[in-house]
């Protein structure tokens, strides 16, 4: 069995090597991606972006085939890129603020678990809403929804606040990650947090940093200004409808083994066992409140979400909420740092090398005249589909919006599509489109690293959720925008 497994590993590795060779040596490098001479003229030789792309595509396929763990795969890819092509820029991903935001959010979960505060909050919620697993999922949804307007980072919100609480709920009910008991209810509850997180991002302008980028681009390209209240007015119906749909949809296609729970009885017993709040719990609660304030006021104070998250877990160690050994032993967090930093590094390196600008130009050439004379609804549907599929290439929502939206908005102007609807439809798609992988949005790696659902389940159910989301926005959303006069 071991020999067979080893043979399978090397076959997959050879497939990835073949992908790199085919792209780099056999496919002609487009002129816009070729190396240039001192005068700036294309030389015909592959440029830096083409070298990076050949490895990046192999990495994406490697995340599907999984010949080795995600972290090892990315480290090997970075090493090969440097040794073979002499390009070391992907290493910068490990110094990227988003990478550290993901890592810090993961470690905050450790503080919640070690101190016992996560369990206490979980038991309090169980005491109030402890009759069914579906009801518990809606409590999770409501928790994320309430915090969303005040946190522009869904990684900090969903990964650093909501996920640790509900992991404790699941474990209290006998569902342990990484074991067969995960399917009891934990896999359903924790995975569903991913679509919920992206769903709440779409409803509020301040719930995702990428929304602000989209609004700024809309102002500069289409001359339309959208304020917080107007955004909520346009997005509330399709957005909230999807937040109602996600728990039920996943309950049907990825059902928990347990439907009813005696949560109230368990909660009373466990709260009695825990007794009054400990010093560590009180300290973490104070740090938690300060972190939420920091995230909520980031736009005014200029303090980034990453800084707040790192400070949160650093002070948790400093003030004795958890020990550094607890941080060292959180293997999932370190593994997440390795692979997510690598893929962020590749994505940012490709962006710096001009690949995504070139890709955006190609979309513009292909679609600029396509939509002229086409019905606005059909044109928007096609743009939305392109928007979703393109997420397989991106590892950052903000990077995606920054790279692709100038072209998408320019196309909408040429095609005379309604400007405000374009902003809502494209921004929503930039969020729920992230569901197709576990790396397209920074909250994904945190939830994925929790170990409650496999990569295959993330891709399979993510694609289904993305399609359902698209249908809701291009039908119910379109009707709502028509009724309100936005269309």
Gap between the Cα atoms of 60 and 347, Å rounded: 11
Local confidence band at 151 (pLDDT 50, 70, 90 cut-offs): low
Q: Which pLDDT score is estimated for 103? A: 82
Gap between the Cα atoms of 55 and 431, Å rounded: 26
Local confidence band at 222 (pLDDT 50, 70, 90 cut-offs): confident
Query: What is the residue-wise DSSP string for 95-160?
Result: G-HHHHHHHHHHHHHHHHHHHSHHHHHHHHHHHHS-SBHHHHHHHHHHHHHHHGGG-S-HIIIIII
Gap between the Cα atoms of 236 and 229, Å rounded: 10
**In the block, residue with structure tokens 């470690």:** 107
Note whether 455 and 63 are within 8 A (CB).
yes
Local confidence band at 368 (pLDDT 50, 70, 90 cut-offs): low
Tens digit of pLDDT for each residue in 260-278?
A: 887 777 778 888 888 999 9
Q: Is the pLDDT score of 113 beyond 80?
A: no
More confident residue, 6 or 423: 423
More confident residue, 25 or 103: 25
Q: Is the pLDDT score of 6 beyond 70?
A: yes
**pTM assigned to the model:** 0.73
Gap between the Cα atoms of 390 and 124, Å rounded: 42
Note whether 54 and 20 are within 8 A (CB).
yes
Q: Which pLDDT score is estimated for 294? A: 84
Q: What's the token pair of residue 120?
A: 């206490």
C-alpha separations of 224 from 86, 214, 397, 411, 427 in Å? 44, 11, 22, 15, 14
| Displacement of CA 332 from its chain's centroid (Å) | 17
Q: Is the pLDDT score of 1 beyond 70?
A: no
Burial class (CB in 10 A: 0-12, 13-18, 19+), 331: exposed
- For residue 435, give every residue at least 6 positions away whose Cβ sits within 8 Å of its Cβ, in sequence order, or none: 194, 195, 198, 462, 463, 465, 466, 469
Residue range 463-478: average pLDDT? 96
More confident residue, 95 or 347: 95
Note whether 349 and 90 are within 8 A (CB).
yes
Gap between the Cα atoms of 194 and 184, Å rounded: 18
Domain ranges of the chain: 2-87, 97-211+225-338, 347-483
Q: Is the pLDDT score of 46 beyond 70?
A: yes
Element (H, E) at 42: strand 42-46
Choice among 4-8, 131-135, 378-382, 424-428 with the minimum mean pLDDT: 4-8
Burial class (CB in 10 A: 0-12, 13-18, 19+), 302: exposed
Q: Which pLDDT score is estimated for 149? A: 79
Q: Which pLDDT score is estimated for 468? A: 97
Q: What's the token pair of residue 255?
A: 């059902």
Note whether 462 and 455 are within 8 A (CB).
no
Q: Is the pLDDT score of 196 beyond 90?
A: yes
Tens digit of pLDDT for each residue in 329-360?
A: 877 778 878 887 888 788 788 888 888 778 77
Residue range 359-371: average pLDDT? 73
């Amino acid at each position: 069995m071991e020999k067979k497994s080893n043979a399978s590993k090397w076959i997959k590795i050879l497939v990835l090597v073949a992908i790199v060779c085919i792209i780099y040596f056999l496919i002609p490098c487009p002129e816009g991606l070729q190396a240039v001479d001192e005068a700036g003229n294309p030389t015909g030789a592959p440029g830096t972006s083409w070298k990076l792309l050949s490895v990046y595509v192999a990495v994406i396929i490697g995340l599907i085939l999984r010949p080795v763990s995600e972290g090892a795969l990315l480290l090997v890819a970075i090493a090969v890129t440097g040794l073979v092509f002499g390009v070391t820029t992907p290493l910068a991903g490990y110094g990227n603020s988003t990478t550290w935001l993901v890592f810090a959010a993961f470690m905050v979960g450790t503080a919640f678990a070690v101190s016992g505060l996560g369990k206490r909050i979980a038991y309090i919620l169980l005491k109030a809403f402890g009759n069914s697993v579906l009801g518990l999922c809606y409590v999770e949804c409501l928790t994320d929804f309430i915090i969303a307007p005040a946190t522009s980072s869904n990684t900090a919100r969903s990964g650093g606040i909501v996920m640790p609480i509900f992991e404790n709920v699941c474990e209290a009910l006998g569902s342990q990650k990484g074991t067969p008991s995960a399917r009891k209810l934990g896999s359903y509850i924790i995975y569903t947090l991913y679509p919920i997180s992206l769903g709440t991002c779409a409803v509020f302008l301040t719930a995702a940093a990428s929304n602000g980028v989209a609004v700024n681009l809309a102002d500069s390209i289409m001359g339309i200004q959208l304020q917080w209240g107007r955004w909520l007015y346009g997005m509330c119906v399709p957005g909230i409808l999807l937040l109602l749909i996600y728990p039920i949809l996943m309950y049907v296609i990825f059902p928990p083994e347990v439907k009813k729970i005696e949560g109230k009885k368990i909660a009373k017993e466990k709260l009695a066992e825990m007794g009054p709040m400990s010093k560590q719990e009180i300290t973490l609660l104070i740090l938690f409140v300060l972190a939420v304030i920091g995230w909520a006021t980031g736009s005014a104070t200029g303090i980034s979400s990453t800084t707040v998250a790192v400070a949160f877990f650093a002070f948790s160690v400093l003030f004795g909420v958890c020990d550094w050994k607890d941080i060292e032993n959180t293997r999932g967090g370190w593994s997440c740092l390795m692979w997510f930093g690598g893929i962020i590094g590749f994505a940012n390196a490709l962006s710096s090398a001009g690949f995504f600008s070139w890709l955006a130009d190609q979309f513009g050439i292909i679609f600029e005249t396509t939509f002229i004379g086409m019905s606005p609804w059909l044109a928007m549907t096609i743009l939305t589909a392109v928007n979703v599929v393109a997420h397989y290439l991106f590892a950052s929502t903000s990077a995606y919006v920054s790279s692709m939206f100038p072209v998408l908005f320019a196309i909408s102007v040429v095609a005379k599509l309604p400007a405000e609807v374009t902003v809502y439809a494209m921004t929503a798609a930039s969020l729920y489109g992230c569901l197709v992988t576990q790396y397209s949005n920074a909250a994904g790696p945190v939830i994925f690293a929790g170990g409650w659902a496999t990569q295959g389940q993330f891709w399979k159910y993510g694609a289904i959720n993305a399609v359902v989301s698209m249908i809701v926005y291009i039908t119910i959303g379109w009707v709502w925008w028509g009724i309100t006069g936005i269309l």
